[in-house]
Amino acid sequence: MTSASKSPTKAEKSTGQIRLKNQQAILAAAAEEFALHGFKGTSMNSIAQRVGLPKANLHYYFNSKEGLYVEVMRNILDLWDSAFSNLTAEDDPASALAEYIRAKMEFSRRQPQASKIFAMEVISGGECMSEHFNHNYQEWFRGRADVFQAWIDQGKMDPIDPVHLIFLLWGSSQYYADHSSSICRVSGRSRQTKEDFAKATANLTHIILKGCGLTPPSKA
């Protein structure tokens, strides 16, 4: 009664659940649009239509288009960081690399939007992500490269520049997300199935492991 707000009349949504729910719905719709047209190419209107809300509501929950975009990117980078377990120099190279390829391909399959938004941002110069790149990313990158270098120093794999190995892992796996429309045209299907990804992963694992001088881990 004494409450001033109207829609959530009772304390039923007292913790701001509607707010959270709307925010997430907007973020999801924004991700779809940004993945299709990039930052500049996406309009607030198209996002609003996709969520089914007036576009004024978007500005109520997010200050500006750029603010919304940054939030979408932040979610993606969080997702990214949590998706891959850390490699260590003590791991068995073959199984660790195979597991990494599997996880990366699984990410391409389940989060293709994230890959696409990320790719568009990087192609456009990636200014928005400069802060992330200058800290977390470079550090993360060095960590992985050092692990590969340690394996090489221990004579466990061929002397391949770790930096370019990481580029290969990323480039080949993200291709299946970013270029999915092209892949579908070639294969004549409407979308890639789980089995398509399994086959792609198997092929990729075979080539990269063998190409690095590693023998595949036993199934057990």
Partner DNA sequence: GTCTATACGTTGATAGAC
Partner DNA sequence: GTCTATCAACGTATAGAC
Which residues of the chain form contacts with DNA (CB under 7 A)?
A: 5-8, 16, 18-19, 22, 42-46, 53-57, 59-60, 63-66
Of 47-55, 66-74, 84-92, 136-144: span binding a copy of itself (CB under 8 A): 136-144
Is 181 a binding residue for a copy of itself by CB under 8 A? The answer is yes
113 binds, among DNA, a copy of itself, none (CB under 5 to 8 A by kind): none
Q: How far is the CB of 179 from a copy of itself (least distance, A)?
A: 5
Tell me, residue by residue from 142 to 171, as one string, x for binding to a copy of itself by CB under 8 A and - for no binding: ----------------x-xx-xxx-xx-xx
Nearer to DNA, 39 or 80 (CB): 39
| HEC readout, the chain | CCCCCCCCCCHHHCCCHHHHHHHHHHHHHHHHHHHHHHHHHCCHHHHHHHHCCCHHHHHHHCCCHHHHHHHHHHHHHHHHHHHCCCCCCCCCHHHHHHHHHHHHHHHHHHCHHHHHHHHHHHHCCCHHHHHHHHHHHHHHHHHHHHHHHHHHHCCCCCCCCHHHHHHHHHHHHHHHHHCHHHHHHHHCCCCCCHHHHHHHHHHHHHHHHHHCCCCCCCCC
168 binds, among a copy of itself, DNA, none (CB under 5 to 8 A by kind): a copy of itself
Is 111 a binding residue for a copy of itself by CB under 8 A? The answer is no
Q: How far is the CB of 168 from DNA (least distance, A)?
A: 36
